[in-house]
């Protein structure tokens, strides 16, 4: 007897993709012998292949060859197609033209739920009340586990959970005013150097070369920051390597960015800083996460519906200057 084939589709930002993984892991729990396949952007294929052993196959869907790539996905009989975007017409067309699944599920926005819970209800709408009450009783938040970590040491970058903390000072190119002010980060790093012996790994994406260079310049100008305990890894790690690093860090400090959500799904303890983005919907999905939000954040007072802050101070959201990471 052929096992059920389930095809899941989600493209876009890394954080959004990570938010879907608790659903995929739940499907595996409920359908232990099903064949689960995931369609995503090329940049995240290796992340899912190497850190999600509950997914049987990952399909690379390139925008430049979208139709050709989907035609390959649709060559086998499919029982369920789970489309995790809100364009119902596109979901219907892709299923009619390529996937031909007997059951089609499509994401629908629900403001009452966190992003993670909202993806879950695309397939299991009956879980809505349980997810509002206690999502961690329903879902496993640790959705990213490097396959090598099950049986062996992960790699040379990773040492011991008690030996280092991770800091993510940037938020990529999209809405950069969400980032915690760089001078505040430097103050925090200096305090860490004075008060404990932890090494500090600074993380970021390949599109943050300018931030990396700026940090290196600031480190060179300040004797307190000229220490081998600081390791600048911005743009130097793959997504898979980030999972390994974050799974064993003592603490991750970050604003709302993709690496923050990779950390949550990797089991890291987290202190996160939010401005503009609504933490009720987009906070890191982890019981070990602390979220810091300024009580003076006008964007949050406006129900978190803004995407761009208009009250800036030195190119950062003004409310972020009042947040103290030491508290």
**75 φψ region: left (φ > 0), alpha (ψ -120 to 50), beta (else):** alpha
Q: Mean pLDDT of all residues in the chain?
A: 90
Give the model's pLDDT for residue 154.
38
Residue 148 lies in a domain: no
| In-domain check, residue 305 | yes
Render 288-321 in DSSP notation, one character per residue.
TEEEEE-TT-HHHHTTT--SS-S-EETTEEGGGG
Q: What mean pLDDT do residues 98-108 have?
A: 97
What is residue 153's predicted lDDT score, i.e. its pLDDT?
37
DSSP-assigned letters across all residues of 145-190: --GGGGTS---SS---TTTEEEEE----SSSGGGSPPHHHHHHHHH
**Is 90 exceeded by the pLDDT of residue 234?**
yes
Give helix then strand counts, H and E, for the chain: 12, 13
Instruction: Examine the domain organization and report whether 115 and 181 are in the same domain.
Output: no
Residue 109, pLDDT > 70, answer: yes
CA pseudo-torsion sign 253, 45, 59, 37? negative
pLDDT at 327: 62
Residue after which a domain boundary falls, among 80, 105, 140: 140
Q: How far apart are CA 173 and CA 204, in angstroms?
A: 11
Q: Write down the pLDDT at residue 85.
A: 97
Q: What domain range includes position 45?
A: 5-140
In the chain, the largest separation of any two C-alpha atoms, in whole Å, equals 68
Cα distances (Å, whole numbers) of residue 306 to 291, 297, 303: 19, 11, 8
Contact 295, 308 (CB under 8 A): no
Choose the final residue of a domain: 140, 173, 207: 140
Of 65 and 309, more confident = 65
* Mean local confidence (pLDDT), 294-298: 72
**Helix or strand or coil: residue 274?**
strand
pTM of the predicted structure, to 2 decimals? 0.92
Q: Which of 24-33, 124-133, 304-313 has the lowest mean pLDDT?
A: 304-313
Same domain, 110 and 199: no
CA distance 120 to 100: 22
What percentage of the chain has pLDDT greater than the value 90? 75
327 in a domain, yes or no? no
For the segment 77-105, the average pLDDT, to the nearest whole number, is: 96
Q: Concatenated DSSP letters for 182-213?
A: HHHHHHHHHHHHHH---EEEE---TT-HHHHH
Higher confidence at residue 303 or residue 69? 69
The whole-number pLDDT of residue 152 equals: 38
Alpha carbon 220 to chain centroid distance? 31
Confidence at residue 155, expressed as pLDDT on a 0 to 100 scale: 42
Residue 144: closest CA among 278, 244, 3, 254: 244
pLDDT confidence of residue 284: 96
Could you say which of 93, 108, 140 is where a domain stops? 140
Tell me the two tokens of residue 252.
Answer: 């991750």
What per-residue confidence (pLDDT) applies to 2?
67
The whole-number pLDDT of residue 301 equals 55
Residues 313 and 205 in one domain: yes
Report residue 31: phi and psi, to 5°.
Answer: -125, 70
Residues 250 and 207 in one domain: yes
Domain harbouring 277, CATH code: 3.40.50.2000
Q: Which H/E stretch holds residue 40? A: strand 35-40
And the tokens for 123?
A: 């397939």
Encode pLDDT of 34-43 as tens digits. Answer: 999 999 999 9
Average pLDDT over residues 38-60: 97
Q: Residue 307 has what pLDDT?
A: 64
Mean pLDDT in residue range 79-84: 98
Lowest mean pLDDT among 42-46, 73-77, 90-94: 73-77
The answer to the question of residue 242 being in a domain is yes
129 in a structural domain:
yes
Tens digits of per-residue pLDDT, 119-172? Answer: 999 999 999 999 999 999 999 999 999 876 654 333 444 444 458 999 999 987
Residues 242/15, Cβ–Cβ less than 8 Å: no
119 in Cβ contact with 20 (< 8 Å): yes
In the chain, the number of structural domains is 2
Domain identity same for 129 and 208: no
- For the segment 75-89, the average pLDDT, to the nearest whole number, is 96
**Residue 324 confidence (pLDDT):** 86
Determine phi and psi for 284, rounding to 5 degrees: -60, 135
Same domain, 99 and 231: no
pLDDT average, residue stretch 285-308: 75
DSSP state of 3: P
Q: Are residues 45 and 97 in the same domain?
A: yes
Nearest Cα neighbor of 53 from 74, 30, 32 is 32
Between residues 132 and 313, the one the model is more confident about: 132
Give yes or no: residues 192 and 259 share one domain.
yes
In which band, very low, low, confident or very high, does the pLDDT at 311 lie, cut at 50, 70 and 90?
confident
Phi-psi category of 195—alpha, beta or left, where left has phi over 0 and alpha has psi -120 to 50? alpha
């Amino acid at each position: 007897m052929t096992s059920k084939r389930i095809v899941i589709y989600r493209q876009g930002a890394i954080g959004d993709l990570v938010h879907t993984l608790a659903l995929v892991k739940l499907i595996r729990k409920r359908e232990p012998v099903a064949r689960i396949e995931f369609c995503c952007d090329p940049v995240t294929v290796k992340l899912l292949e190497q850190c999600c052993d509950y997914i049987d196959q990952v399909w690379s869907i390139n925008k430049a060859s979208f139709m050709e790539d989907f035609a390959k996905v649709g060559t086998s009989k499919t029982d369920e197609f789970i489309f995790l975007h809100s364009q119902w017409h596109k979901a219907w067309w892709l299923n009619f033209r390529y996937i031909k699944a007997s059951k089609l599920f499509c994401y629908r926005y629900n403001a009452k739920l966190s992003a993670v819970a909202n993806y879950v209800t695309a397939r299991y709408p009956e879980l809505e009340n349980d997810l509002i009450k206690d999502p961690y009783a329903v879902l496993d938040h640790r959705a990213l586990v490097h396959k090598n970590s099950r049986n062996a040491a992960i790699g040379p970058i990773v040492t011991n959970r008690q030996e280092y903390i991770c800091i993510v000072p940037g938020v990529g190119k999209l809405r950069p005013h969400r980032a915690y002010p760089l001078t505040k980060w430097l103050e925090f790093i200096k305090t860490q150097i004075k008060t404990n012996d932890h090494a500090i790994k600074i993380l970021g994406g390949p599109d943050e070369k300018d931030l990396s260079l700026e940090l290196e310049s600031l480190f060179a100008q300040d004797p307190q920051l000229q220490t081998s305990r600081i390791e600048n890894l911005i743009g130097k790690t793959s997504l898979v390597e980030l999972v390994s690093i974050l799974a064993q860090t003592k603490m991750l400090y970050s604003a709302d960015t993709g690496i923050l959500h990779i950390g949550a799904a990797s089991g890291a303890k987290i202190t996160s800083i939010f401005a503009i983005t609504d933490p009720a919907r987009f906070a890191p999905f982890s019981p070990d996460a602390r979220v810091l939000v300024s009580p003076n954040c006008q964007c949050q007072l406006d129900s978190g519906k803004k995407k761009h802050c208009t009250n800036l101070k030195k190119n950062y959201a003004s409310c972020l200057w009042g947040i103290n990471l030491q508290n």
